[in-house]
Amino acid sequence: MSIKRRKGFGPDNEKQEINLEKYEERGWSPEEIQSHTKRGTFIRFAFLDLDKFGGDIYHEELINIAIRAAGNRDRADEDIARSFKTKGWSYDPFPPIVDTNWKVKDGRTRIRAAILAGEKFIPVAIFAYPDEEDVKTAYVQSLSEGLIGNDDLISRPTKSEDLIEAGISAIVDGNVQHDKTAIASLLFNEFEAERFVRQEEIPDLVEQIFEAVAGGQQAIWIPGRSEVVTYLKKCPDIPKDACLDGEVCLNGKKVFVYAAPSNTNQGRLWGQIAKQIPEESYIVFYTTKKIPSKIKKGYSDFISFIDMRYEECFEIVNRTASQSGFNINIKPPTKKPYKVLGVIPQLNLDETHQTLRKSNRLITLEDYC
């Protein structure tokens, strides 16, 4: 008889009793359970013995690099480990998934978190998967299992960046051809991308995957937010009167650092600038996209949007005054309340970018590429 209950998770002096029957009592339909996998057949819920990983959170079965755009850099496992130690185990999300050989198929971050929290086991769902003799086909299928397994997660659902990372891996290490038709088929059919992003976003993902592979997937350095801030703290191009993220800003000018291109970030940046007026603000851009040929235009479009909103403010004042019987025509001052300091040089195959990055310098938009 399989074990249904074990003590673990929560504060050291008040460990939970983890009861697998609570999963069985959830009343999930076969269709709901099946939605967490593309090819697996559900067997049962069980406990995975964490001793198999030897305390190594970087065990080959627990690395997210090919599925998560952030890999393991976002430290989500540490945040979840803290939650495990203070709040205990939650039955809300579907548990991690393993196959009948106890190989991890989904839920790697939660398993690493359990190891960090000092736990000896973790609840899992066991699925049986059909054998695939072709190694490269099996690899692509494992990518889709990881992406689909994350579909119902609230804290770390699959995002467009994850689809791109998995798409690149499917071409470089799998058996997917490097052409746009094959990539589109991969996204629509194998990865079921419409579960995670809007349909109209998928053609752009196809372009990003195609060009990332064409230029070599290492063509662009993609830093995390914390890496960007660290870079800028060492940057000689940041004025002495500037305040970066996390710094106390007394009579200084704030530096707004945004990833571009991004329609959402355009609106956010303008909102931040508007709050600072009449004080001047500084702007620095970086990118999280992997299409070198489109990055410069993305930066230009971003600035054009900010300039348009700035000029629009004066037009609103003029029109409002006119409706009230005042005939005025206030022109936007030539000196704007914001200044673009530059862009982080991220092109790995460009000599200018390489040279500037070695000394933590910025590059102007005009010189970007």
| Domain assignment present for 181 | no
Q: Which of 138-152, 244-258, 331-345 has the lowest mean pLDDT?
A: 244-258
Q: For residue 94, what are the domain limits?
A: 5-158
Phi-psi region of 54 (alpha: psi -120 to 50; beta: other; left: phi over 0): left
Amino acid at 203: P
154 lies in the same domain as 41: yes
Average pLDDT over residues 188-198: 92
Question: Which pLDDT value is given to residue 359?
Answer: 93
Single out the residue in 158, 185, 211 at which a domain terminates: 158
242 lies in the same domain as 133: no
Phi, psi of 25, rounded to the nearest 5 degrees: -85, -5
| Domain assignment present for 122 | yes
Examine the pLDDT at 190 and tell me if it is beyond 90: yes
Strands 5-8, 16-19: pairing is antiparallel
| Domain assignment present for 163 | no
Single out the residue in 126, 158, 190 at which a domain terminates: 158
17 lies in the same domain as 152: yes
37 lies in the same domain as 135: yes
Identify whether the C-beta of residue 242 lies closer than 8 Å to the C-beta of residue 270.
no
154 lies in the same domain as 282: no
Q: Which residues contact 50 (CB under 8 A, 6 or more apart)?
A: 111, 114, 115, 119, 120, 121, 122
- 318 membership: H or E segment, kind and range: helix 292-323
Single out the residue in 122, 142, 158 at which a domain terminates: 158
Question: Which pLDDT value is given to residue 236?
Answer: 94
Question: Which pLDDT value is given to residue 216?
Answer: 65
255 lies in the same domain as 333: yes
Average pLDDT over residues 89-101: 93
Segment of 64-68, 73-77, 326-330 carrying the highest mean pLDDT: 326-330
Number of domains the chain is built from: 2
Q: How far apart are CA 139 and CA 128, in angstroms?
A: 16
The pLDDT confidence band at residue 212, using thresholds 50, 70 and 90, is confident
Identify whether the C-beta of residue 96 lies closer than 8 Å to the C-beta of residue 125.
yes
Q: How far apart are CA 302 and CA 242, in angstroms?
A: 22
Question: Which pLDDT value is given to residue 343?
Answer: 95
146 lies in the same domain as 254: no
| pLDDT tens sequence across 311-366 | 999 999 899 988 888 888 899 898 999 999 999 999 887 889 999 999 999 999 88
Q: How far apart are CA 244 and CA 233, in angstroms?
A: 7
- In three-state form (DSSP H/G/I as H, E/B as E, the rest C), the secondary structure along 54-119 is CCCCCCHHHCCCCCCCCCCCCCHHHHHHHHHHHCCCCCCCCCCEECCCCCEEECHHHHHHHHHCCC
